[in-house]
Amino acid sequence: MREKELIVYKDFEDGGLLDDMVWLMEQYAACGQREGSRGDAGGQGNINGQGSADCQGNAGQRSLLYGCMHRLLEMAGNHGFYGNLWHCYLTNLLVNNENTYSKACEIRGEVEGTINLAVLHDIIIFKEWYDYDFGGLMEELGVREFELILHYDSCRQESKVYNTRICKRICDLAVRFTQNHSPEEMKATLTEFYKEYGVGKFGLHKAFRIAHDEKGVNIVPILNIAHVHLDDLVGYEIPKQKLVENTEAFVAGRRANNCLLFGDAGTGKSSSIKAIANAYYDKGLRIIEVYKHQFQDLNDVIAQVKNRNYKFIIYMDDLSFEEFETEYKYLKAVIEGGLEKKPENVLIYATSNRRHLIKESFADKEGRRDQLHASDTVQEKLSLVSRFGVTIFFCAPDKKQFQEIVSTLADRYGIEMPKEELLLEANKWELSHGGLSGRTAQQFIDYLLGKGTMK
């Protein structure tokens, strides 16, 4: 079978469908050869386009083709694909196959070496599948319904695997492949895709979380990350600039620091991190969200990403520890202090309401007698935050700043209300909804939008 001849592109996640489709193509080709040999021997051959009894109406092959149609339609529903589903399926295999070539090309582009000849060998096979004309096979097996697969109009329902942006990207690439006239052109198009977006889950997605399965620690994509931009965060220009400068140095390959965003609740610390993920995705930045109870998995996570061409921020939201919690010791070793050096493509970004992350008490400062070396206890608690080279403070706005935030958001969302009334209602709202903060301002605007107070 032709798929067994692949050299670089192997071990596809959903390769069973490929095996079945290629088998059907080859069975049809073998049937045509048998018919041709009968015709050469003086037989009737394939008269009026009708196959012989041993080829036409093969119940097993018909059933298998219908089964393949079902799987392609299910794929379209799960992934959100449209157009030629066979082409989309093949494209999805290519953009997700993490092999020696695709990982070398991700973010960097074309590489040199003999590997290019091996990849071209595989692309020649893939192009045969792309260019395959299903008309004869459909006629032979009497399955004209396969035409639905070749011109599929999706209902555009939400994908369970990809967001709309990624789905469109793959469908567009499938169309581009059909426009390539040679395997060399197709290989160049694929390599360009790897350079621009990458390969596999890290290439197609922005943000990830940690999960455990039968294989151990697994990094899985977050499909619906909030589309937050730094301009959406009103005010805080100095803190945002410090975060941007550190992140830009990181994605450019220069020296950068681990970063701690601390301060009052609702001031935009988490939103700033999300905005960073959106702003620098095209430059190869990816974010992995890690919760406190998963710190023991950090070494496994770093081992999976340290040799990739992307830049990874390990993101810890609302980070803090009580005195009895010891998970921070894992984090200290990972950030700085362990024998293995932290990879240059990994940084730690954390947000917290606590300046020093670990709960402190007056006993720590006063050196009470129940502790033999009180200063050691203080140093132990401060040693974690000292591993963050950049600390950025987000403070709660005063009343004037709060009103500026409300006014700016009201204009942005088209709230129709006299300014004096708007600010009066905003002041009433913050008194009973958490005080002065950017989050409270956004919640107030959402409340007005829910009432339909728009232009």
In this prediction, residue 239 has a pLDDT band, given cuts at 50, 70 and 90, of: very high
Would the pLDDT of 26 be above 80? Answer: yes
Would the pLDDT of 44 be above 70? Answer: no
In this prediction, residue 1 has a pLDDT band, given cuts at 50, 70 and 90, of: low
- The answer to whether 406 and 423 are in contact (CB under 8 A) is yes
pLDDT for the residue numbered 100: 95
Could you state, in order of their start, the residue ranges of all structural domains in the chain? 2-204, 223-394, 399-450
Rounded-to-integer distance, Cα 331 and Cα 377, Å: 18
- The answer to whether 141 and 55 are in contact (CB under 8 A) is no
pLDDT for the residue numbered 374: 47
Rounded-to-integer distance, Cα 190 and Cα 87, Å: 14
pLDDT for the residue numbered 315: 94
Would the pLDDT of 375 be above 60? Answer: no
- The answer to whether 314 and 290 are in contact (CB under 8 A) is yes
Nearest Cα to Cα of residue 273 among 306, 231, 229: 229
pLDDT in tens, 106-130: 999 999 999 999 999 999 999 999 9
- The answer to whether 238 and 263 are in contact (CB under 8 A) is no
Higher per-residue pLDDT: 43 or 415: 415
Tokens linked to 29? 């080709």
Tokens linked to 209? 């979380």
Q: Where are the alpha helices (DSSP H) in 109-207?
A: 115-130, 135-141, 147-150, 164-179, 183-197, 200-204
Rounded-to-integer distance, Cα 87 and Cα 222, Å: 26
pLDDT for the residue numbered 133: 95
Higher per-residue pLDDT: 227 or 151: 151
- The answer to whether 137 and 200 are in contact (CB under 8 A) is no
Would the pLDDT of 19 be above 80? Answer: yes
Mean pLDDT score of the chain:
85
- The answer to whether 380 and 395 are in contact (CB under 8 A) is no
CATH class of 223-394: alpha beta
Report pTM.
0.82
Q: Which range has highest mean pLDDT (159-163, 187-191, 398-402)? A: 187-191
Task: Kindly state the average pLDDT of the residues 239-243.
Answer: 94
| Secondary structure element (H or E) that encloses residue 390, with its range | strand 390-394
Rounded-to-integer distance, Cα 207 and Cα 189, Å: 26
In this prediction, residue 372 has a pLDDT band, given cuts at 50, 70 and 90, of: very low
In this prediction, residue 454 has a pLDDT band, given cuts at 50, 70 and 90, of: low
Rounded-to-integer distance, Cα 334 and Cα 283, Å: 25
Would the pLDDT of 25 be above 60? Answer: yes
Tokens linked to 58? 């093969």
* Sign of the alpha-carbon dihedral angle for 326, 331, 337, 341: positive
pLDDT in tens, 78-101: 999 999 999 999 999 999 999 999
Q: What is the dihedral of CA 375, 378, 380, 384, to 10 degrees?
A: -150
Would the pLDDT of 376 be above 60? Answer: no
